[in-house]
Amino acid sequence: MLAGGAEAPLVVGVLRAWDAMRTLATEAPHDPSVSCRPSAATRTGLVLGEGAAFAVLEEWDHALARGAVIHAEFAGYGLTSDVAHITRPTIEGQAKAMQSAMLAANLEPEAIDYINAHGTATLQNDAVETAAIKMVFGERAYSIPVSSTKSMHGHLLGAAGALEFLITVMSLARGAAPPTMHLDAPDPACDLDYVAGHARVGLLRVAMSNSFAFGGTNAVLIVKAGSESTAGSLP
């Protein structure tokens, strides 16, 4: 099975539509490349990006029989639809999706080593997602590396979940939690370990990838390290 997405939204009509929703970031005057600042007190909104990402999903025994390199094991997923508001996310809907994914993967919260956050850099999403992670993981939420790679590639809309899933897979394979860039002044409401500025090298065994869309559609995927993971340990 091939699963993924592609998106090319950088055209005038799409940009104007998102601007009308007041979700796009204000261009940083000193450096436009730092305009997307997830979890920062100075964040002003998302930056749209373009791209495509696809994963090959294969039954475990079939992959072993043909000698395939297993990058990661797709362990479970959770889906919720909170239908509370077209643009405002809810803590409960996001938390339920994460809990459902762990239940499907037969994992306890203690098993999650890294979370690839939805992390759009909008004022509402980042604070809500932080609160949802705290609701699910309790005190342990503060010791889990969490990062938003949208700070580097932007929001790919229909391709965002696929790209960030593959980034999560490669994080396991390479033994490194990617950074949240441009996080120089964290928002007090976003007080988790957001891996600011630099990747963190070490063993990652199980990771979670969050995707939370307008309309309250919440999707969470969980992957376990495959046969090519890198040894080490996160501090």
81: how many CB neighbours lie within 10 A of its CB? 14
pLDDT of residue 216: 83
Mean pLDDT (the chain, rounded): 93
Distance in angstroms between the alpha carbons of the first and the last residue of the chain: 36
Interior/surface letters 169-193, b for 16+ CB within 10 angstroms, e for the rest: bebbbebbbbbbbbbeebbeebebb
Task: Answer whether residue 120 shows pLDDT above 70.
Answer: yes
pLDDT of residue 67: 92
Domains present along the chain, CATH in parentheses: 2-225 (3.40.47.10)
Interior/surface letters 26-53, b for 16+ CB within 10 angstroms, e for the rest: eeeeeeeebbbbbbbeebbbbbbbeeeb
pLDDT of residue 228: 57
Structure tokens at 124: 């509402």
Q: Quote the CA–CA distance of 103 and 56 in Å, as a whole number.
A: 24
Dmax of the chain from CA atoms?
55
**50 in the Ramachandran plot: left (φ > 0), alpha (ψ -120 to 50) or beta?**
beta
198: how many CB neighbours lie within 10 A of its CB? 11
pLDDT in tens, 56-73: 999 999 999 999 999 999
pTM of the complete model beyond 0.75: yes
